[in-house]
Amino acid sequence: MARSERRELKIREVLALRQPDLTIVIENIHDPHNVSAVLRSCDAVGVLRVELLYTSEKFPRIGRKSSSGANKWLELRKHSSVDECYAALRKEGYAVLATFLGESSRSLYDLDLTKKTALVFGNEHRGVSKEAARKADGNFQIPMLGMIQSLNVSVACAVALYESLRQRLSAGALNRPKLNEEELAVLYRSWIER
């Protein structure tokens, strides 16, 4: 098979596995290495579009090398406020769940991540803002059994995204494309030019 044919096939295969019903919101994550690792995990589990909520930090410049180009294969959508971001997501039918260590936070492993979900991850030092946590449809936390009280944000994001992938694989949710034929065609024409 010619190189261009392999590429076309790869793009079709990857698009057929994209999960338009799974997204993440990254709120003011400022380290480019963290953002790159997050985007790489998003590509790996089939996220189609990532929501960027940058209110107090700038979205970092991402080197092509560190992200291994994952940003090339993700749609990035910018938001200017928590309200605007959550309203857009809810209009599209997403339940918005924010990582937050609180008394009413549920365990990651008690969530049904086969449903249409947007997961919110916060800044490296401050975590998800109180506003973003409070206005979400629910909060969750990743169980931690150790002496240290936090995980690297790109690690936390990958653990949650992969739990979603595990649940979807287990439910047979990846056996057919979630994008319809028209959406697949539009994305294919865009990706093939990248």
Helix intervals (H) in 20-150: 32-45, 64-67, 82-91, 130-134
Among 21, 27, 43, 51, binds a copy of itself (CB under 8 A): 43
> Min. distance of Cβ 99 from a copy of itself in angstroms?
14
Among 9, 76, 87, 144, binds a copy of itself (CB under 8 A): 144
> Min. distance of Cβ 183 from a copy of itself in angstroms?
17
d(CA 180, CA 118): 20
Check residue 48 for interaction with a copy of itself (CB under 8 A). no
Check residue 75 for interaction with a copy of itself (CB under 8 A). no
In eight-state DSSP terms, residue 139 is E
> Taking contact as CB under 8 A, which single stretch among the options 11-19, 49-57, 94-102, 177-185 is the one that binds a copy of itself?
11-19
106-107 sheet: strands from edge to edge: 75-79, 49-53, 22-27, 117-121, 95-99, 138-141, 106-107
Which residue type sits at 113? Answer: L
Backbone angles phi, psi at 91, to 5 degrees: -60, -30
Residues forming contacts to a copy of itself in the complex (CB under 8 A) are 10-11, 14, 17, 33, 37, 40-46, 68-70, 72-73, 109, 142-148, 150-152, 154-155, 158-159, 162-163, 165-166, 169-170, 174
